[in-house]
Amino acid sequence: MAYTATIGLEIHLALCTKTKIFCACPIDAAAPPNTHVCPVCLGMPGAMPRFNRAVSDCAVRLGLALGCKVHPVSAFDRKSYYYPDNPTSYQITQYERPICTAGAVPIETEKGISSVPLRRIHMEQDAAKLLHRNGQTLIDCNRCGTPLLEIVTEPALHTPEEAAAFLTALREIALHLGISDCKMQAGSLRCDANISLSDGSAPGVPVEIKNLNSVKFLKKALDFEIKRQSECLLRGECIEKQTRRYSEGDGTTVFMRKKETVSEYRYCPEWDLGELCLAPGEIAAQKALLPRLPHAARVHYRSAYGMSEKEAHAMTRYPAVHRFFEECVRLCAPPGLCCALLMQTLFPLLPADEADAKINTEPQELCTVCAMLQSGELSRQNAARLCALLFAGEKDARALAKAHALCTITDHAVLRAAADAVFAEDPKLLCACRLQKKGALDRALGLALRKTDRRGDATILRSLLQQLFDE
């Protein structure tokens, strides 16, 4: 019997604000344990939270980018639960009145382009970090109060591939908006997946898989869970509503606990915080900061610039490269040439993690290289060498080209001397050229270019060589 999977995702996105959501403690993942804490994030009696407006700025920016309805008035609630990493025994979150609702994320799969509808985006605080060492469990409260956005989809996904594409697309958008470093291995982006199977006669029972920290693990966990639930249903067993975790070692999901119900969390208004009210100017300010998003940029690059799928993805993979490329094009650099030089000379220097990419030169410098290449002042090979110097941190493209003898030689006397030397060293090649033997002129041109360290103007050299064997 065939079963249809229904998948919904909950994404927790740690924001890169300077301070925590409800206090002034700085956020620094590299700080020694329990050094960036205060009475508020430790949940001390009488400590009062104070909201960090930079968090709502990030939420509004993401909501606008995803086409959500941004609510000018929202509110915080308390979600009560006990766990060792939660000093207050409750989490400040948004339940009844989130800051954003609806919206969608465009995804690309083998089936084409589609969009995944969202239910809500809300703000909340992160818990502490538990460290398990030598049979002991230690608590680092530096992470307490780190601002999170939780992005909740509608249960509109049906395959692990769609879920993986959604997480990839959302991560890419958040990176380009500059609201998070999205380092999944460091916990900046975490995913919970809810999956149920049904034969169509009745809705399935959802099972939650917690804290998936990579796109690969999300797909593998869902693949396994589809197989596990299918086998249970085929044996006539009932699926229990439960929370599971993914075991990286053997690629299975493991039972953790029975799934909590909403009533168990005892949601109630957070009385220490009033309503969060956004002025029209605040929303407009965030809208003005929105860049061209990766998906829209790729469509534009393919249609307007004639880029291939590979080139369009390359120009939008790294936020720093995307901004750099867009600025180069704005400054009138040819898109195709600019893309080719970046892929040839910059990409080998970039780190694997997109958030860590930095470019050590200005867009105007690459525009200068493109102009010199188009005018014939540089060969393609020397243009790549000049770009390598610029991306290593050197300044002034024209001065560098002269200092490193990269400019194309157009002096007829210098080029005539190189052509004379080729035929003087190989009279047989001169005869072959006069007899118009196949490949003879190209070989002579290659030898002449070597004598100029490949800096000679190939068009002028070819003309001079032809003059010599026509004499």
Give the rounded distance of the alpha carbon of 251 from its chain centre. Answer: 26
pTM listed for this prediction: 0.88
Query: How does residue 338 score in pLDDT terms, banded at 50, 70 and 90?
Result: very high
Q: Flag whether pLDDT at 430 surpasses 80.
A: no
Q: Specify the pLDDT at position 471.
A: 63
Please state, rounded to an integer, the average pLDDT across all residues of the chain: 91
Q: Is residue 6 a contact partner of residue 195, using CB atoms and an 8 Å limit?
A: yes
Q: Specify the pLDDT at position 450.
A: 84
DSSP annotation of 141 reads G
The CB density around residue 462, as the number of other CB atoms within 10 Å, is 17
Q: Specify the pLDDT at position 1.
A: 62
Type and span of the H or E element at 402: helix 397-403
Q: What is the mean pLDDT of residues 197-201?
A: 86
Q: What is the mean pLDDT of residues 304-318?
A: 95
For 68-123, the pLDDT digits (tens) are: 999 999 999 999 988 888 899 999 999 999 999 999 999 988 888 899 999 999 99
Query: How does residue 470 score in pLDDT terms, banded at 50, 70 and 90?
Result: low
- Under 8 Å CB-to-CB from 14, ≥6 apart: which residues? 126, 146, 147, 148, 180, 187, 188, 189
What is the DSSP annotation of 269-322? E-TTS--EE--HHHHHHHHHT----HHHHHHHHHHHH---HHHHHHHHHSHHHH
Q: Specify the pLDDT at position 441.
A: 80
CA distance 434 to 146: 78
Greater confidence, 120 or 187? 120
Q: What does the buried/exposed string (b/e) look like for 193-206 if buried means 16 or more CB atoms within 10 Å of the residue's CB? A: bbbbbeeeeeebbb
Q: Flag whether pLDDT at 156 surpasses 80.
A: yes
CA distance 337 to 388: 15
256, burial (CB in 10 Å: exposed 0-12, middle 13-18, buried 19+): middle
Q: Is residue 241 a contact partner of residue 263, using CB atoms and an 8 Å limit?
A: no
Q: Is residue 421 a contact partner of residue 456, using CB atoms and an 8 Å limit?
A: no
CA distance 68 to 98: 11
- The region of weakest confidence among 236-245, 385-394, 419-428 is 419-428
Q: Flag whether pLDDT at 263 surpasses 80.
A: no
Q: Flag whether pLDDT at 145 surpasses 90.
A: yes
CA distance 195 to 204: 9
Greater confidence, 185 or 105? 105
Please state, for a pLDDT cut of 90, what percent of the chain lies above it. Answer: 68
Residue 63 corresponds to which tokens in the numbers above? Answer: 């909501």
